[in-house]
Structure 1
């Protein structure tokens, strides 16, 4: 298990939030009548499940496959964001395009995080002196050889990238919180659109939560 901030309670909390978010997206995928929305929500559900699994180092042998899937998902959202306006099933309007660009960034961020976590757990990129430590130990005139001691690489090997992504997702979380508050403030003046407003509020809340989780996890990689 990878303890975020070395506090198991936070790891458990993040796991619960990721699984709840994934469940919400699965529910939305099942309820949506549009194929594109079904695919998009299914991709988001998969991303949250993979991130939860990453916290517990589950299926480490599939890290490359996970990165490949998330990279493909990022490209899928980019395609939607740059699609021509006549393809109305995709992101044909301004706000929709921005949202698709953000979702592409989220997928790419998740792929980057899994790659960095994988580097930490496998110890790749460690210094040669760390890899050689413990190869030979001497006691008096007798040499004792033992297995190499490998110090797992911390995920702070890319601190600048971690700082950048922390800032990006923190800004995203703040933006979605502002949108959520604005939606609540205008809800009372649009009684006939109460259901869409509630759905939009749930989306903003979920996006804010997801961005905050991403920001927190990248923040642990800055040291």
Structure 2
């Protein structure tokens, strides 16, 4: 995705770090819902790392289906009735699940866009001495695009607004992290040793920043 290996390796390391954290939390969780949620986040991180290197393109449809299903799962949690205590509870929990649904849907859309780019690139390959059959077929169908093709052609236009959305989310999570650290430090001085701040906000900020960078690369 990126022409600079250092950027690709850095983003890969961040995604694998976040994925490892979610795997660890999944093994420590006592609730089935939490285990599923952390496992889905770990899977999303792994799939996004694979996208950076264009790995396993033959499984693109399966990746999109899994990510779309995960987005639906978090939506169900966000709109679930309050009596379902095992799902998202409270306004803060519901907003968190709604954002996670957006992240999963964004990853699914990213996989779709990359699959479209790969298909387009393969159609544009012209062998010496003539026009390839895929390219000829693409040229014949270009004049009469189907509804699905027209929809796919508009997907790259979503990259810029999604870049802005996830960049904003990264800033918001960073602010939450700083505020949480200030609050924890204040309470620690007032009440003695306390549990350290959990790294969720930091990982959310890093994950949103990675999403923003990847969508920016697709928009370029």
Q: CA offset at residue 222 of structure 1?
A: 1.6
Report the equivalent of 1:141.
Answer: none
Contact conserved, 1:172 with 1:211, CA < 8 A, in 2?
yes
Taking structure 1 as the reference length, the TM-score comes to 0.83
Q: Over alpha carbons, which structure has the higher Rg?
A: 1
Q: Which runs of 5+ in 2 are unaligned?
A: 136-151
Higher helix share: 2
- Mapped to 1, the partners of 2:207 and 2:185 lie a distance apart of 27
CA distance in 1, matches of 2:218, 2:67: 20
Map of 2:197 onto structure 1: 198
Rounded to whole Å, the distance in 2 between the matches of 1:11 and 1:102 is 25
Distance in 2 of aligned mates of 1:15 and 1:149: 33
Aligned residues: 201
Describe the shift of the 1:186–1:63 C-alpha distance in structure 2 as closer, same or farther (beyond 3 A).
same
**1:60 to 1:207, Cα distance in 2 relative to 1, 3 A:** same
- Report the equivalent of 2:106: 109
Q: CA RMSD in A?
A: 2.3
Aligned to 2:147: none
Q: RCO (CA 8 Å, sep 6+): is it higher in 1 or 2?
A: 2
Q: Say if 1:175 and 1:203 are closer, same or farther in 2 by CA, change over 3 A.
A: same
Confirm whether residue 71 of structure 1 aligns to residue 87 of structure 2: no
What's 1:140 paired with?
none
2:39, 2:81 → 1: CA distance? 23
Once the two structures are superposed, residues 65-110 of structure 1 have per-residue CA deviations (whole angstroms, 9 ceiling, x without a partner) of 0000000000000000001111111112100000000000000000
Q: Work out whether 1:215 is the aligned partner of 2:212.
A: yes
Separation (CA, whole Å) in 2 of partners of 1:21 and 1:62: 22
Unaligned runs of 5+ in 1: 138-143
Whole-angstrom CA distance in 1 between matches of 2:120 and 2:100: 30
1:89 aligns with 2:86: yes
Please say if residues 119 and 125 of structure 1, whose CA atoms lie closer than 8 Å, have aligned partners that are also in contact. Answer: no
Counterpart residue number, 1:42: 39
User: Distance between the aligned counterparts of 1:125 and 1:88, measured in 2?
Assistant: 49
Distance in 1 separating the partners of 2:186 and 2:16: 34
